[in-house]
C-alpha cells in the first residue's frame, strides 16, 4: 500500500500568506500540494473519501471545510491548477482519478466503494467510466467546499442552491488584482502616450479607463445592462467618459471649440471602445459565458471596437494639430 500523508483543518499564518501571494499572482505556478492520499482526523475504513486538485487554494478550501471530520482526502495531480480549469483541460479527469485510486491502494484502505468529488470536476470525469474501471461510485458533492458539512448531514444530498455556480462580489473582487497586474504594462505605455498628447489630462483618461475596465467592471458586473460583456463594458466606458468630458468643458474654456470638440469625441470613443474590449476579456474569468456566445460577441463587436479606436486616434491627432497650429 502506498504511504498516506496527514493533514488538518488549520490555516496557519504561512498558509494565509501564501493565499495572498496567489491572489496577487506572485509565483502563481508554484503553489502545489503533493498528490496522493491524506488522512484528516482519525478516519476508519468506513470514513468518506473526498477528492480534490493539487492546487493549494483548492486543497486548503477542502481541508478547512472538513473541520471536525474523520476522512480521507485524495489529491489528484492537476499540475497545480484548480478543479474547474483542470477539469476543462482533462487533467482533473477520469484517467488521473482511476490511476490515483489504484496507486493509493484506496481499495484496501476503505471498506466502502464511494468517492466524493467536487461538482465542478464533472466536466473532466465520466462517473460511469470510473465505476466500470475501479468499482468506485462517484458522488458529486456541492460546488463550494463550504457546503460539505450540510451536504454530508443531508445524507450526501446537495440542495439545488449547492449545485449552482454563483459569482458573488467577493469572488469578483478577488480577480481584479490579477487582471490589473496583467494589463499594467499597457497602462504604463498608454500613460506615456496620453501624457504626450494631453498632459495630465491624458493621464487621467488612461487611469479612468484602467480602473473602470479592470476594477469597476467586475464590481458592477451584475448591474450593467445587456447580457453581452462587451456591451456592458461599452456602457461603463460611456459612463466614465461623462466626467472627463465635463472636465474638459470646464478647464479648456478658452481653447478653440473645434479642438475641444474633437478631443471630447476622441475621449468618448476611446473610453467606450477600450472598456468594451476589457469587458469582453472578462468572459474568460467568469462562470457564465459559453464559447459559442463569446465567439458571437467577438465577431459582432471587435470590428466596431476597432473602428472606434481608430476614429478616436485620428480625432486626437486632429486636436493635436490644432495645438501645433497655435504654436507656429
Partner 1 sequence: MAGECSCQGAPSDAVNTLQYDMNRCVNCGRCSQVCPHGVFAPGDFKAQLVNYEACMECGACMVNCPVNAIKVESGVGCANAMIKSALLGRKEVICGDDCCK
6 binds partner 1 (CB under 8 A): no
Please check whether residue 309 is in contact with residue 269, taking contact to mean a CB–CB distance below 8 angstroms.
yes
Which of 254, 239, 263 has the alpha carbon at shortest distance from 321? 263
158 binds partner 1 (CB under 8 A): yes
290 binds partner 1 (CB under 8 A): yes
254-283 residues in contact with partner 1 (CB under 8 A) are 280-283
Residue selected from 232, 297, 308, 312 as contacting partner 1 according to rule CB under 8 A: 297
Sign of the alpha-carbon dihedral angle for 222, 225, 231, 233: negative
Residue selected from 128, 159, 249, 303 as contacting partner 1 according to rule CB under 8 A: 128
Query: Under DSSP, is residue 55 helix (H, G, I), strand (E, B) or coil?
Result: strand
Span interacting with partner 1, options 11-19, 185-193, 212-220, 284-292, rule CB under 8 A: 284-292
Residue selected from 16, 112, 163, 181 as contacting partner 1 according to rule CB under 8 A: 163
| Angstrom distance (rounded) from CA 120 to CA 165 | 9
| Angstrom distance (rounded) from CA 49 to CA 56 | 18
Count of residues interacting with partner 1 (CB under 8 A): 48
91-120 residues in contact with partner 1 (CB under 8 A) are 119-120
Please check whether residue 203 is in contact with residue 159, taking contact to mean a CB–CB distance below 8 angstroms.
no
147 binds partner 1 (CB under 8 A): no
Please check whether residue 283 is in contact with residue 294, taking contact to mean a CB–CB distance below 8 angstroms.
yes
Which of 289, 307, 238 has the alpha carbon at shortest distance from 268? 238
The minimum distance between CB 142 and partner 1, in angstroms, equals 11
Query: Under DSSP, is residue 75 helix (H, G, I), strand (E, B) or coil?
Result: strand
Sign of the alpha-carbon dihedral angle for 22, 233, 258, 249: negative
Span interacting with partner 1, options 4-12, 35-43, 163-171, 319-327, rule CB under 8 A: 163-171
151 binds partner 1 (CB under 8 A): no
Give the distance, in angstroms, between the CA of residue 276 and the centroid of all CA atoms in the same chain.
18
Please check whether residue 35 is in contact with residue 67, taking contact to mean a CB–CB distance below 8 angstroms.
no
Query: Under DSSP, is residue 101 helix (H, G, I), strand (E, B) or coil?
Result: helix
143 binds partner 1 (CB under 8 A): yes
Please check whether residue 204 is in contact with residue 244, taking contact to mean a CB–CB distance below 8 angstroms.
yes
Residue selected from 24, 288, 300, 321 as contacting partner 1 according to rule CB under 8 A: 288
Span interacting with partner 1, options 62-70, 121-129, 193-201, 260-268, rule CB under 8 A: 121-129
The minimum distance between CB 261 and partner 1, in angstroms, equals 32
22 binds partner 1 (CB under 8 A): yes
233 binds partner 1 (CB under 8 A): no
Q: Write out the residues near partner 1 by the rule CB under 8 A.
A: 22, 28-29, 55, 79, 81-82, 84-85, 87-89, 119-120, 122-128, 140, 143, 158, 160, 163-165, 229, 280-285, 287-298, 302
Amino acid at each position: 500500500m502506498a504511504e498516506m500523508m496527514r493533514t488538518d483543518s488549520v490555516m496557519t499564518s504561512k498558509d494565509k500568506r501564501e493565499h495572498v501571494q496567489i491572489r496577487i499572482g506572485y509565483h502563481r505556478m508554484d503553489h502545489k500540494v503533493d498528490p496522493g492520499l491524506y488522512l484528516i482526523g482519525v478516519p476508519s475504513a468506513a470514513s468518506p473519501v473526498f477528492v480534490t486538485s493539487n492546487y493549494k487554494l483548492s486543497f486548503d478550501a477542502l481541508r478547512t471545510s472538513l473541520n471536525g471530520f474523520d476522512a480521507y482526502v485524495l489529491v489528484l495531480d492537476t499540475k497545480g491548477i484548480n478543479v474547474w480549469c483542470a477539469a476543462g483541460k482533462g487533467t482533473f479527469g477520469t484517467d488521473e482519478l482511476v490511476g490515483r485510486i489504484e496507486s493509493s491502494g484506496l481499495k484496501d484502505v476503505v471498506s466502502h466503494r464511494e468517492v466524493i468529488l467536487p461538482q465542478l470536476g464533472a466536466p473532466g470525469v465520466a462517473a460511469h467510466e470510473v465505476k466500470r474501471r475501479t468499482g468506485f461510485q462517484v458522488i458529486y458533492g456541492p460546488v463550494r467546499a463550504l457546503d460539505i458539512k450540510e451536504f454530508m448531514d443531508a445524507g450526501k444530498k446537495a440542495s439545488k442552491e449547492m449545485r449552482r455556480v454563483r459569482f458573488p462580489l467577493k469572488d469578483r473582487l478577488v480577480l481584479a488584482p490579477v487582471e490589473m497586474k496583467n494589463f499594467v504594462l499597457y497602462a504604463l505605455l498608454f500613460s506615456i502616450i496620453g501624457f504626450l498628447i494631453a498632459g495630465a489630462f491624458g493621464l487621467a483618461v488612461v487611469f479612468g479607463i484602467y480602473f473602470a475596465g479592470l476594477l469597476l467592471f467586475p464590481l458592477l458586473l451584475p448591474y450593467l445592462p445587456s447580457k453581452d460583456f462587451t456591451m456592458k463594458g461599452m456602457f461603463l466606458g460611456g459612463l466614465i467618459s461623462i466626467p472627463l468630458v465635463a472636465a474638459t468643458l470646464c478647464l479648456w474654456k478658452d481653447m478653440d471649440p473645434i479642438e475641444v470638440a474633437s478631443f471630447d469625441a476622441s475621449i468618448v470613443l476611446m473610453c467606450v471602445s477600450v472598456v468594451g474590449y476589457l469587458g469582453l476579456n472578462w468572459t474568460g474569468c467568469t462562470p457564465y459565458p459559453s464559447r459559442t456566445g463569446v465567439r458571437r460577441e467577438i465577431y459582432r463587436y471587435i470590428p466596431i471596437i476597432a473602428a472606434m479606436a481608430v476614429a478616436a486616434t485620428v480625432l486626437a491627432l486632429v486636436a493635436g494639430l490644432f495645438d501645433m497650429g497655435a504654436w507656429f
